[in-house]
Amino acid sequence: MRVELIQHTPDPEKVVAAAARLCYSPDSVPDLCERLDDKKVASFVQKLREMGHLSPFEHVSFQFSIDGVSRALSHQLVRHRIASYSQRSQRYVKEEGFEFVIPPSIMRNQETLERFETIMARLQDAYKELLDCVPAEDARYVLPNACTTSLMATFNARSLLNFFEHRTCFRAQWEIRYLAEKMLELVRDVAPNLFIGAGPTCITQGVCRQGGYSCGRLKTLGGKK
């Protein structure tokens, strides 16, 4: 898996602070930005976060390049609807000799790994055979969820906070959890005050909303359901 933050709103924390200040000021956004130093921005963003007043966070966006992830992951990712996605098409891009993601549970057992790789090889052969007689858009029906893909994803900061809350949780599947952790690391580098409180609710709020599906992590943190 390779994840890169390829672009983001310039000075995102100041933009968020200025957007919020605008609601209570007769001044223009440029004037507000000019008077906001780093200390005021950090303080104001923290106050917004604590109050749950997150609509100003929607004014900044972050674009990610995501490569080498499975189709299983991408189907989960696009469930986060307040985002924009572009994905490599299996209709127009042929997948001969496709690469595939191997789950850790399969990697741990040599016999299971060999069986998995044999199945992938058979599917590669089947796909290649079908390409000789049907369009790629129909041959793709034999491609597995393990087949790798590439995406560009654009989130606003508020949507990212929701994404991190759900997908850094231990209940999230291992692959998308790893993706979320990498994305969180990248945005914290450029906007630490926006994402300092990001993560699963057991960490950020001391509560778990998974009910009977809880991973049990909260107990080790001394929180409550």
pLDDT for position 134: 97
b/e code 135-173 from CB counts within 10 Å (16+ = b): ebeebbebbbebbbbebbbbbbbbbbbebbbbbbbeebe
Set 21, 49, 167, 177: catalytic member: 167
pLDDT at 41: 87
Both tokens assigned to 77 = 């990712």
Q: Is 217 a catalytic residue?
A: no
Q: Tens-of-pLDDT digits for all 225 residues of the chain? A: 999 999 999 999 999 988 888 766 666 667 676 777 888 888 888 888 888 889 999 999 999 999 999 999 999 999 999 999 999 999 999 999 999 999 999 999 999 999 999 999 999 999 999 999 999 999 999 999 999 999 999 999 999 999 999 999 999 999 999 999 999 999 999 999 999 989 888 888 888 888 887 888 877 776 555
Q: Was 158 annotated as part of a binding site?
A: yes
Question: Any binding-site annotation on 74?
Answer: no
162 is in an annotated binding site: yes
CA of residue 68 relative to chain centroid, distance: 14
Q: Report yes or no on whether pTM surpasses 0.85.
A: yes
Give the Cα separation of 60 and 115 in Å (integer).
46
Is 87 annotated to bind ligand?
yes
Residues 18 and 36: their CA atoms lie apart, in Å, by 8
Q: Is 96 exposed, middle or buried (0-12, 13-18, 19+ CB in 10 A)?
A: exposed
Domains of the chain: 2-85+150-199 (3.30.1360.170), 95-142 (no CATH)
Going from the C-alpha of 4 to that of each of 45, 62, 66, 166, the distances in angstroms are 25, 10, 7, 21
